[in-house]
Amino acid sequence: TIPNLREEADFCEVFFDNVRVPAKNVVGEVNAGWALAKAVLGHERIFLGAPSRPEYALTRLEMLAEDRGAFEDAAFRSRFAKLRLDLYDLGSAFERFAKVLREGGTLGADVSVLKLFCTELYQRITEETLAVAGEEARFYDDLPLGDGGHVDAMNLFLDARAPAIFGGSNEFQRNILAKAVLGLPSR
């Protein structure tokens, strides 16, 4: 197993050497595996672009901000409003790609935009959560709220780092968009 930033065994790697696969178990055409892998990655990227994680994080930020009085600060209110609007835009973009799949279509390279948007929004929300939590975030797994609830600001922050790597790093997604969508040269 490979530990994540929280030292939890979140995933692992398995390597197979000298494996033979019977012909009846071959998926698709022989030597056409990359095309199949790209299709699977497209589906993975829409999953990674789902707004659920940023929605959860924004809800936690709102709870913490209300508890700590952060909404009294106009600059915070402005940043929070931008995050909320970005989340709305993410939801709209996600629905656009999901509709393609529901109608039996295939996703193009442009689905990489969704993964980029989602993972970077998730990170910005959790960074704002840490800013509101202040130094307390490093001392508590669960920051207590006045209403008896809690917010785990540091774990949200750490959790937001990994999605920018798995499913193809965000840097790789930018390369895909540059070449396949914008038609930019490799060098």
- CATH tag for 49-181 (out of 3.90.1150.10, 3.40.50.720, 3.30.70.1520, 1.20.140.10): 1.20.140.10
Joined tokens for residue 33:
């595996």
pLDDT at residue 128 in the model? 98
How many Cβ atoms are within 10 Å of 102's Cβ, its own excluded? 9
Determine which helix (DSSP H) or strand (DSSP E) holds 144, and give its type and residue range. Answer: strand 143-144
Digitized pLDDT (tens) for each residue of the chain, 187 residues in all? 777 777 777 777 788 888 888 888 888 888 888 777 777 776 788 888 999 999 999 999 999 999 999 999 999 999 999 999 999 999 999 999 999 999 999 888 899 999 999 999 999 999 999 999 998 888 767 888 999 889 999 999 999 998 998 888 899 889 989 999 999 987 7
Residue type, 114: L
What angle do the packed helices 33-48 and 74-102 form, to 10 degrees? 140
Q: Which residue has the tokens 């920018």?
A: 164
Residues contacting residue 89 through CB under 8 Å, at least 6 positions apart: 117
What is the greatest pairwise CA distance in the chain? 66
The number of angstroms, rounded, from the C-alpha of 33 to the middle of its chain's C-alpha atoms is 26
pLDDT at residue 42 in the model? 67
145: helix, strand or coil: coil
Total-model pTM: 0.84
Catalytic residues: 44
pLDDT at residue 140 in the model? 65
pLDDT at residue 83 in the model? 98
Residues contacting residue 15 through CB under 8 Å, at least 6 positions apart: none
pLDDT at residue 37 in the model? 77
HSE-up of residue 8 (Cα within 13 Å, Cβ side): 6
157: helix, strand or coil: helix
Question: CA 41, CA 43: separation in Å to the nearest integer?
Answer: 5
pLDDT at residue 84 in the model? 98
